[in-house]
Structure 1
Amino acid sequence: MTATAAARDERAMPKGRDLYVVLGALMLAMLLAALDQTIVSTALPTIVSELGGLNHLSWVVTAYLLSSTASTPLWGKLGDQYGRKRLFQASIVIFLIGSALCGLAQDMTQLIVFRALQGLGGGGLMVLAVAIVGDVVPPRERGRYQGLFGAVFGVASVCGPLLGGWFVDNLTWRWVFYINLPIGVVALAVIAAVLHATGERERHRIDYLGTLLIVGWAVGLVLTATWGGTRYAWASAPIIGLAAGSVALIGVWLLVERRAAEPIMPPALLRHPVFALGAAISFAVGFAMFGALTFLPIFLQVVHGVSPTLSGVYLLPMMLGMLLSSIGSGQLITRFGRYKIYPMVGTPIIALALYLCSALDENSTTLSMSLRFALLGFGLGLVMQVLVIAVQNAVSYQDLGSATSGVTFFRQIGGSFGVAVFGSIFSNQLAGHVADLARVLPPGFDPAAVQGNPRLLDRYPVAVKDAVLHAYAQSIDSVFFWAVPVAAARVRADLVPARGPAAGDSADARLRGGLRRGADRPVVKA
């Protein structure tokens, strides 16, 4: 990039009030995408009771995660090639269309299909919002602002279930999706008015084959996790075939990416130590976070008998913990320039919190649950956005979108795996506990139906109710227990940022390459 182009880009960066307006619109758009990963959870029992299809319950969440995951790398790469503003606007429009259709769904199949469309737009919202921060904020300030974006996840993690519960109790579950429309329109208008379009008018070669392959193996892996142990036995031909096919597609994809003119995820990026480790930790965090958030409302509504709205209130400590650690770690990174300590501390905290959650039961007090939820949120806030900061400051500006989308992609695919695997574990555990209770249950009683309507238990004797609630508590506890080893990923000592640009590089390269002042001081250090 020439010095003239660099100077032009720096002048185009919004400043002062315009910068805060842009960041506000980006956070609003990201809030939409983050909410739709959690807002549906508290409404699921009501949705199932109205539309039916209990066997497909997990797909309401998985379809969104899978679609957003598969599209994330493409959004990131296209943003690097053609500029991010127009693509960001397109992703908002797709997301809003999907939201409107979800609210109009008449059966579970329609809802799942429309959730997939919504996820397609949501994938663009997530990755492009974070990548645009890299466009409009110098590296030395990214810690402060990325911490705010991490706080958005904290707000969504609790406001999602809370809003979902309130809509179910006071309006209808369809407002879980309709609420996106006015918020999305505001974000769209602000982005159109304030954010400057960037990107040069050049012809690029889109990596269609690489995109199809990455979608293929991502879908294959999630289907393996979703169907294994539920629809098919783990050792059955369909599951073995899906797993083997996914691994084969990964191998072909890696070969294709090495030869592609403009690969969707450059091979050099995959070999980058900071990116590789960041992607691995993002997978673990996504696995733990999305899996836990899917089953915590079910635990609260079924086992403790709280309303959908109150189940969101019970999760407020998680939001407070995430807000505190995300904003605090961002401020400290901006001030001291060091980031490695946060994921090193955060991942063991997440594992400990999940282990403590695995000991919850129907007799757990509100204080006991709140402390566990707060600890889980605190650990998540220490890890999530710190990884984005590390990766953005370690790669070249030309790969900023691909790197950001890569970290988001692995977090999303981890979330898809988490929901699918946890759902399989929960179903198997519940089936086993119900079999043990067969002799005390009334004829024709289906304990699985309690998940769709917890009030069914009020019709039966106290002994039956207590037995079923205990079975649910034990089954959900197993979910958290098996999440512990996944969340216990540790950060290696070699998590260090790439060397910054040389002293002769342009001002733009020094700014975006991660230098705080001069040419020899990286904005973030191990």
Structure 2
Amino acid sequence: MEQTTAKESVPNSDSADTVHSPDTDHSPEPPQTITNLQLSVVISGLWLSLFLCSLETTIVSTSLIHISNDLDDLNQASWIVVAYLLTFNAFILIWSKLSDTFGTKWLLLSANFIFFVFSIACAVSKTMVQLIIFRAFQGIGGSGMYSLVFVVMAQIVPLDKLGICTGILSSVAPGIAVVFAILGKFMTNPKSKKEVQASMKTMDLVGAFLSLAWAIPLIFALQEGGDRYEWNSGVIIGTLVTGVVMLILFALWEGWVYRHSSIDGIFPVRLLKRSVTVLIFLSLLWLGFTFYVPVIQIPQRFQHVNNTTATRAGILVLPLTLVSPCSALCSGILVGKNRHWAPALAILGGCLNVIGITLISTLPIDSDISHAQYGYQVLIGLSLGLLTPSLMYLIKIQVDEKDIAGAMGVGNMGRTLGGCIGLAIGGSLLHTELDKDLPKFLSEEQIEALAVSSSLARSMLTEEQQIRVGEVYGRGFNMQFKALIAFAGLSLITAILLYFAHIRSMNEKDLNEVEHREDSNERDSD
């Protein structure tokens, strides 16, 4: 049976914008080898794990209003999404770094188990508070599932097959038992007991705590500011200041650990010394804004503005949810053919993103469904599918093997952080529009009913009032997407800069390899 090398030599990231020869990696561990059959089976298990994690977003986004109506608390609907994303983002770096200590196999299975348990808890929730709490714990499991899948892929997939495998994994839009059966049987755990014990002595526990301490209050402030609390209220100012202070402490601590300590920092500071990796992380941050907001808010728009059911909203968003995975698969195949395709596809994805986001921000605000928006969804889906595999591929070829887990953690954290901030900004803009316009034609009692349940509110509103409510929501959703245009533009600019940084980096790598071969030939001739 043909075998493939599980660990590929990759450029060293310790020096700024310099890519060293692969021979500089003096890892004491011999590379793992797995058969092509085993690789295929493991990839299928990873796909299932990622499928379950990604399916959650699609299901919740389309049924958000229906769930909130059932629990009589439409005003807190956004927290069903934000609670999940908050813990999802907060634990990404922790899961990725723990994989350096304990290995990936049992951590990934543990993440699947946590996701499974709290998915059941969410299903049996009786109140909105229960659901939000269980969604937060579900986000912890989902965070591990998402981040560790890409860590495993970067560790075991050979470079020549990385593009297609990335495309396959990025094409997910099942069951936990199947994941356990496949990964438990066929996936190996390279960490020995002695290695785990040695790694535990250098774990960055302070960094792990600080990574949670800055994200939670900061995202809370962005989500609740201008909604439940005024921006100048003590709650918002307090949590905002706490989040910023903790973020500064986190940065200072990780910088100190990198320079003066033997602790293995949770954040790979050395990667910030290279412009190409910084640009990759920025690209993933901007991607988060334009990924989560359309996926979450377009189904909401169909229901609030066009008066569709949750089921029909899920069908109407298919141009986005089907095109994106198909585009991701094609992108993965292309980047595997030529290493320069990845940044080029990121530029193409950035262009389509700007166009799609701009167009969808101009949709009419009446209750009739504009057929043009299906084309706009296709453009956004194409852009998301092109961007994700390209950026993940660039991490693999631009980051040293020992930093892969940390780099994947930072990249995924940036993506979800961008999504959290984007949803918070969008929610604030929507509530600002509602607070400004609804009191013009609705009574206080009617507005309160609208915050509790849209079905309850309809029974209290005249037909004309229902039409005007839909128009107010339409303006609010359009404002959200207009705000996204700026982040889509930043994504395109960053992709262009990334293209030139990547070309320069690869040229330096080729030059170093030529010089290394010449030195070796000279030594052999002597």
Compute the displacement of 1:255 (Å).
2.0
1:479 maps to 480
What's the CA shift string for 1:14-59, capped at 9, x where partnerless? Answer: x222221111110110111112223112222222222233332111
Equivalent position to 1:94, from 114, 135, 158: 114
**CA deviation vs aligned residue, 1:282-336 (integer Å, no higher than 9, x gap):** 1211122212222211111122122211111111111233133211221111112
Distance 2:101 2:385 in 1: 31
Alignment of 1:97-112 (within 5 A): 97-112=117-132
Give the counterpart letter for 2:191 in structure 1.
G
2:337 to 335, 338, 344: 335
For 1:367, the equivalent position in structure 2 comes to: 371
Give 1:108-123 correspondences, 5 Å limit: 108-123=128-143
Decide whether aligned partners of structure 1 residues 455 and 345 sit closer, same or farther in structure 2, where only a CA change above 3 A counts: farther
- Residue from 206, 221, 234 that aligns with 1:224: 221
CA contact under 8 A between 1:258 and 1:267: conserved in structure 2? yes
Q: Which residue of 2 aligns with 1:134?
A: 154
On the 8 A contact 1:213/1:253 being kept in 2, the answer is yes
Of 404-413 and 417-426, deviating more is 417-426
Q: Specify whether residues 478 and 448 from structure 1 end up closer, same or farther in structure 2 by C-alpha distance, changes over 3 A only.
A: farther
> Where in structure 1 are there 5+ consecutive unaligned residues?
157-181, 507-518, 520-526
**TM, length-normalised to structure 2:** 0.84
Aligned match of 1:467: 468
Q: Check the 8 A contact 2:74/2:451 in 1, yes or no.
A: no
1:44/1:452 contact within 8 Å kept? no
The aligned runs of 1:336-355 (5 Å cut-off) are 336-338=338-340, 339-355=342-358
Bigger shift: residues 475-484 or 461-470:
461-470
Partner of 2:70: 50
Partner of 2:489: 488
Residue 32 of structure 2: aligned partner: 10
Change (3 A) 1:53 1:365: closer
Q: Which of 179, 182, 190 matches 1:187? A: 179
Do structure 1's residue 409 and structure 2's residue 428 form an aligned pair? no
Contact 1:142 1:334 in 2 (8 A): yes
Check conservation: 2:122, 2:131, Cα contact below 8 A: yes
Distance 1:418 1:242, change over 3 A: same
Mapped pair 1:199 → 2:159: no
Listed one character per residue, the Cα deviations across residues 391-412 of structure 1 (whole Å, up to 9, x for unaligned) are 1211111111111111001101
- In the TM superposition, residue 124 of structure 1 has moved relative to its aligned partner by 0.6
Cα distance per residue 1:162-216 (max 9 Å; x no partner):
xxxxxxxxxxxxxxxxxxxx60111111100111111243211211100111111
Give CA-to-partner distance per residue, 1:116-140, whole Å, 9 cap, x none.
1111111110011111111221122
Structure 2 CA distance, aligned partners of 1:29 and 1:65? 17
Query: Is 1:256 aligned to 2:241, yes or no?
Result: no
Match of 1:36 in 2: 56
Q: 1:282 to 1:3 in 2, by over 3 A?
A: closer
Does 2:169 align with 1:149? Answer: yes
Write the distance in 2 (CA, Å) between the matches of 1:3 and 1:379: 38
Pairing 1:303–2:305 present: yes
Which of these residues, 205, 210, 223, is aligned with residue 213 of structure 1? 210
1:84 is matched by which residue type in structure 2?
A: T
1:514 alignment counterpart: none
How many angstroms apart in 2 are the aligned matches of 1:417 and 1:274? 24
Q: In structure 2, how many angstroms separate the alpha carbons of the residues matched to 1:388 and 1:460? A: 49
Aligned partner (choices 377, 393, 396) of residue 392 of structure 1? 396
**1:300 partner amino acid:** F
Report the Cα distance in structure 1 between the residues aligned to 2:248 and 2:27, rounded to whole angstroms.
41
**How far apart in 2 are the matches of 1:191 and 1:280?**
32
Aligned to 2:6: none
AA paired with 1:235? N
The change in CA–CA distance for 1:451 and 1:500 in structure 2 (over 3 A counts) is farther
SS at match of 1:144: helix
Question: Aligned pair 1:429/2:429, yes or no?
Answer: no
1:263 is paired with a residue of what secondary structure?
A: coil
| Structure 1 CA distance for aligned equivalents of residues 452 and 361 of structure 2 | 19
Letter in structure 1 aligned against 2:489: A
**CA displacement at 1:454 relative to structure 2:** 4.9
Matched with 2:277 is 275
Shift of residue 3 of structure 1? Answer: 8.3
1:82: how far off? 2.3
Supply the distance in 2 between the matched residues of 1:185 and 1:500 (Cα, whole angstroms): 44
Structure 1 residues 265 and 448: CA distance shift in structure 2, 3 A = farther
Equivalent in the alignment of 2:5: none
Is 2:281–2:411's contact at 8 Å kept on the other side of the alignment? yes
- Cα 1:94/1:21, change in 2 over 3 Å: same
**CA positional deviation for 1:365:** 4.1
Instruction: Name the SS of the counterpart of 1:101 in structure 2.
Output: helix
Which residue does 1:376 correspond to in 2?
380
Aligned counterparts of 1:144 and 1:36: Cα–Cα separation in 2: 24
Q: Distance in 2 between matches of 1:461 and 1:124?
A: 48
Counterpart of 1:167?
none
Partner SS, residue 27 of structure 1: helix
Residues 274, 391 of structure 1: 8 Å contact kept: no
Corresponding residue SS for 1:206: coil
Cα 1:55/1:342, change in 2 over 3 Å: same
CA distance in 2, matches of 1:293, 1:54: 19
Amino acid of the structure 2 residue aligned with 1:463? E
SS in 1 for 2:446: coil
Q: Is the Cα–Cα contact under 8 Å of residues 302 and 454 in structure 1 kept in the other structure?
A: no
TM-score (norm. length: structure 1): 0.84
Q: Which amino acid aligns with 1:209?
A: V
Report the Cα distance in structure 1 between the residues aligned to 2:305 and 2:297, rounded to whole angstroms: 11
For 2:472, the aligned partner's letter is A
User: Contact 2:307–2:367 at 8 Å: present in 1 too?
Assistant: no
| Structure 2 counterpart of 1:66 | 86
Distance 2:41 2:54 in 1: 20
Contact 2:118-2:134 at 8 Å conserved across structures: yes
Offset of residue 447 of structure 1: 7.7
Q: Distance in 2 between matches of 1:218 and 1:450?
A: 27
- The secondary structure found in structure 2 opposite 1:381 is helix
Secondary structure at 1:92 match in 2: helix
